Structure 1
């Protein structure tokens, strides 16, 4: 598959300053590290417990360097074996490039422009590769985020997940494929583990992939087999300091013209730098800008569409910064409980992933892990509470929008399973409170630059409110008010009527009827979850469940926001119910044709009368229900739907009739009045 066109941004300067290298910092990597300055050096012990302490570096120049660097490098030496790797910076603070030993010192992201040199067989040398960093003081699990192609959730490798408990530690650099999917295997460049565990535990470390067991050397406990174990961290001093620039893989919301402004700004920090030049290339176009101002600022415009842009800064012919995969498009929020998380229960949605579906941060609930994840990545559908997790129906919805309207889509999911409406409320005294679900999502949206530029918010929650309609409506009304305050009134707000509340109970309908009424009282668009036969009593399989939900949601968004067709899209929604003889007539809000499957009569209940519904027929604009007798004393008609598979009343795209409870009015037109 061809890579999309790139955008290149170049800064030209006239000189380079290299800080002299102390004699005691000499390493086997010196030739490969030409132009870099050693900043940290540590002789790794056999055992260490560095948790909440600074390792005893024999060289520490981080205070001197500060943020004055544009590239980071590492040299690991093990008894004559050595590896050198250099990459774009993942932090602007030199203190963060050493071993992570304190809570919140977590890096889990791709890094670009990876260079690798080594004398160890099996290590792939080269320049301009794609890399992946895992740095944390935490314990971790094999669970993969799916951000790395060809990584495994069954072994410790290039894509593991930090967990809340501290006390093991990982510092790993891996070579990975530049795209997903990719034919490039994910494999370690080097790994240093076990440095925040008990001082009785041997460090686990290695260069390249471990030949047996887990490839990233987790649990190897092999430090004692080496007499030399030395890690040296380097930086390349910078000529300019950037104050504004996009992130790799960032989606920038498009404006009404279908374009977006991407500011690039900074200061020339070396006095011999006299000018900077910005070259923007992408979508088959190249633009060049030049500035001789010490404080420079460029505002190039990019076009929304299925093409990526790369920003490249150069000084004295060298690349000093590079940002890849920038796109412009539309952003959405997905929020709620487990059916908004919508991870894989039965059947995979990985085939819906696309390089033009993006996400930012992670919906993980641990505040320190959440706060550390402030990078753009690819949206994934099958896993939950991981970097890039968006859920199966959301990724299907997004892929349909990408395919039809040729626009990149960002999906940011803040859902958390098994929680009542109170869990999602804003702390009004501190809206960004990261100990709250609302605060974590708000921080992510702000850091992503999309909080004031959302197209829509999609909400699926209510099972854990246990059919308490009053509590649910009060809580959602407050939440919606806060969203409109923080996100604005421009986004469209969508509410899924839950299938059950609580799970596995289809007879209670108070909360579901209250959700249906929100379309009239709160100005939201109500979406249906009936008509989906891939239901297990609470959650959904992909086929017949989340996949179809994604298709139905796509159709509504297409109608509302992209000029798509409207016929047969809205969920069937009743207006009123009248009785005449032994019939009930349910008047509908649209004349969209409906399909009534045999057996749906069992899903209707006539409240207050000892009669049953024996048949249901569709006539234009209405449903006609035949009863077992006159509905004497009847007060209301309820459509409660059912669990799992079964007969449905659906529109042209398969969306089911909304659950409802409506009062029954007598139709006096057929009654003879004396």
Structure 2
């Protein structure tokens, strides 16, 4: 078998040359992953020419998990002493390792081992994307998680996370995520991590004169993807960055630069299905962490194929990075998010982080605030830390900030709070009447121990900054504003959904006449009516299905409109 280093080096220069016998134009590498197609398979290209007269045939033998699986031979036809060959054996996407042996007549000339077929992903950003093993706790590799060499861009191997910025490294949470995907779905995974610590978003932008210039981070990652043969079939990209841009006024250009980067990704990775963004954690960085996190929270409003995952409440945060268990929790959260979208799992409840939808004063005295989320949230118990003989307690109500309040440290404008999970609400009782028109959740920085608002699955709510605080709860439908009540209950399943969702309404009417007067309508986040289901009042209690196949991914509002009030429920269409 040809030495792996020699094989990689020869491919780097474009051709494989076997003196006096065979010249290869294309041939796979040891440990290479081939992205699967829509038929869960991939064709492997083995092409070249035979320049040794007297050989009659070329044979390819494929081995699956060490056993001969297929054997095909082609006769050689010479023209001026050269015979061309083109072989395209297929691999299947499964937990199986394939080997390829090539023979001239019966003489073996090369063998390629441990090639697989599966899914490809990219990771990019700064240090929490690189995800170093700070605790020296990663002592495993996974047979089914692969990556590429980092420095010369050629060569494949088993992914690793015991170091960073080295061949085959994918980071602690990257390796764990790959293992979760492969173990749960029976498919190999390739991950290429192009992250670099302490980098601004500007450092990751595409160099327009030469997008594949490897002196630029963007070009280095793109070149690795091209040389790996995965560029056109990357399924998703994971982005964890922003701390550096919170240090100075460069945060003002963050949204614009992200938009530039987003469109470059969509152009250079045409098969990209989803982009997953981690919202930053209050910690290391500068005075503008709030602003960066708020931009990240709102990305899905602009980009329908982006989803944002929270990082608060993961635990094991050292003020900047994460210990080994924290990065593992990060991988689990991300897998729970992607497993439904990309792998068809039905275990979706609570997989997405709670996101604020509305904030308003509950009365004209302005001494109580209601926060409405897109799903149920739980009010946490106090956390505490004991140092020597002193115990310090931290309470959730101390980390909400009304306008003009300090964005850091303990704040005493909220006296107490509680959650109403069945209504997706959190109630904050203020210490006094407030004139504030905005509210912020969590400090700008220096907040690692909690407590946190979480959903029933334990996923932390996304932080929000200067979110509008209305004087009363109102819903706008065209030019009509009306108070909402919770006398009825809207149930939806599944949520998120794709493309079918079933909507059931329980209670809220005493007679059939009252039920017939109800209207069930669906609006997008801009308030535009997209579907009127009012023609099926008799089915409210048994369930009405909505097929959203013709609509884009995003947030939709289900509204039950009655004579004197409105009830609504947020749903999410994910493709």
Give TM-score scaled by structure 2 length: 0.72
State the distance in 2 between where 1:94 and 1:502 align.
Answer: 40
Matches within 5 A, 1:183-222: none
- The aligned counterpart of 1:560 is 341
Could you give the per-residue CA deviations for residues 530-578 of structure 1, whole angstroms, max 9, x where no partner exists?
01221111111111x1110011011111021001221110011111111
- The aligned counterpart of 2:74 is 291
Please give the secondary structure, in 1, of the residue aligned with 2:9.
coil
Q: Is the 8 A contact 2:233 2:271 kept in 1?
A: no
Q: Is the 8 A contact 1:552 1:653 kept in 2?
A: no
Could you give the per-residue CA deviations for residues 386-423 of structure 1, whole angstroms, max 9, x where no partner exists?
00111111111111111110111111000010011110
Please give the secondary structure, in 2, of the residue aligned with 1:472.
helix
Q: What's the offset of the Cα at 1:475?
A: 1.1
Do residues 597 (structure 1) and 381 (structure 2) align? yes
Please give the secondary structure, in 1, of the residue aligned with 2:308.
strand
Q: Taking structure 1 as reference, are residues 88 and 481 closer, same or farther at Cα in structure 2, changes over 3 Å only?
A: closer
Q: What's the offset of the Cα at 1:267?
A: 1.0
- The aligned counterpart of 1:542 is 324
Do residues 420 (structure 1) and 200 (structure 2) align? yes
Pick one of 279, 284, 288 that aligns with 2:61.
279
Could you give the per-residue CA deviations for residues 207-244 of structure 1, whole angstroms, max 9, x where no partner exists?
xxxxxxxxxxxxxxxxxxxxxxxxxxxx9735222211
Do residues 659 (structure 1) and 463 (structure 2) align? yes
Could you give the per-residue CA deviations for residues 82-131 of structure 1, whole angstroms, max 9, x where no partner exists?
xxxx99645339999xxxxxxxxxxxxxxxxxxxxxxxxxxxxxxxxxxx
- The aligned counterpart of 2:253 is 471
- The aligned counterpart of 1:303 is 92
Could you give the per-residue CA deviations for residues 415-457 of structure 1, whole angstroms, max 9, x where no partner exists?
0100111100111111011111111111000000001101100
- The aligned counterpart of 2:149 is 361
Q: Is the 8 A contact 1:346 1:540 kept in 2?
A: no
- The aligned counterpart of 2:19 is 237
Q: What's the offset of the Cα at 1:361?
A: 2.0
Q: What's the offset of the Cα at 1:311?
A: 0.8
- The aligned counterpart of 1:574 is 356
Give TM-score scaled by structure 1 length: 0.61
Q: Taking structure 1 as reference, are residues 460 and 607 closer, same or farther at Cα in structure 2, changes over 3 Å only?
A: same
State the distance in 2 between where 1:606 and 1:473 align.
Answer: 25
Q: Is the 8 A contact 1:421 1:475 kept in 2?
A: yes
Could you give the per-residue CA deviations for residues 342-391 of structure 1, whole angstroms, max 9, x where no partner exists?
0012351334x2011100121xxxxxxx3x24101111113110001111
- The aligned counterpart of 2:418 is 617
Q: Which runs of 5+ in 1 are unaligned?
A: 1-69, 73-85, 97-234, 363-369
State the distance in 1 between where 2:369 and 2:271 align.
Answer: 40
Greater Rg over alpha carbons, structure = 1
State the distance in 1 between where 2:203 and 2:101 align.
Answer: 43
CA RMSD for the aligned pairs? 2.7
State the distance in 1 between where 2:126 and 2:13 align.
Answer: 38
State the distance in 1 between where 2:470 and 2:11 align.
Answer: 70
Q: Is the 8 A contact 2:283 2:319 kept in 1?
A: no
Q: What's the offset of the Cα at 1:295?
A: 1.1
Do residues 269 (structure 1) and 73 (structure 2) align? no
Q: Which runs of 5+ in 2 are unaligned?
A: 77-82, 383-394, 406-410, 475-482, 484-575
State the distance in 2 between where 1:375 and 1:95 align.
Answer: 13
Matches within 5 A, 1:354-503: 354-362=142-150, 370=151, 372-466=152-246, 468=249, 469-488=251-270, 490-500=272-282, 502-503=284-285
Please give the secondary structure, in 2, of the residue aligned with 1:312.
strand
Do residues 515 (structure 1) and 296 (structure 2) align? yes
Do residues 637 (structure 1) and 439 (structure 2) align? yes
- The aligned counterpart of 1:92 is 10
Q: What's the offset of the Cα at 1:606?
A: 1.4
Do residues 583 (structure 1) and 368 (structure 2) align? yes
Q: Taking structure 1 as reference, are residues 470 and 489 closer, same or farther at Cα in structure 2, changes over 3 Å only?
A: farther
Give the paired residue count: 439
Q: Is the 8 A contact 2:48 2:84 kept in 1?
A: yes
Q: Taking structure 1 as reference, are residues 346 and 88 closer, same or farther at Cα in structure 2, changes over 3 Å only?
A: closer
- The aligned counterpart of 1:247 is 29
State the distance in 2 between where 1:474 and 1:286 align.
Answer: 52
Do residues 527 (structure 1) and 527 (structure 2) align? no
Please give the secondary structure, in 2, of the residue aligned with 1:260.
strand
Please give the secondary structure, in 1, of the residue aligned with 2:282.
coil
State the distance in 1 between where 2:124 and 2:18 align.
Answer: 42
- The aligned counterpart of 1:46 is none
Q: Is the 8 A contact 2:203 2:217 kept in 1?
A: yes
Q: Is the 8 A contact 2:101 2:110 kept in 1?
A: yes
Could you give the per-residue CA deviations for residues 146-184 of structure 1, whole angstroms, max 9, x where no partner exists?
xxxxxxxxxxxxxxxxxxxxxxxxxxxxxxxxxxxxxxx
- The aligned counterpart of 1:333 is 122
Matches within 5 A, 1:116-127: none
State the distance in 1 between where 2:97 and 2:12 align.
Answer: 30
Q: Is the 8 A contact 1:349 1:396 kept in 2?
A: no
Please give the secondary structure, in 2, of the residue aligned with 1:404.
helix
Q: Taking structure 1 as reference, are residues 616 and 393 closer, same or farther at Cα in structure 2, changes over 3 Å only?
A: farther
Tell me which moved more, 373-382 or 546-555. Answer: 373-382
Q: Taking structure 1 as reference, are residues 316 and 299 closer, same or farther at Cα in structure 2, changes over 3 Å only?
A: closer
- The aligned counterpart of 2:570 is none
Please give the secondary structure, in 1, of the residue aligned with 2:10.
coil
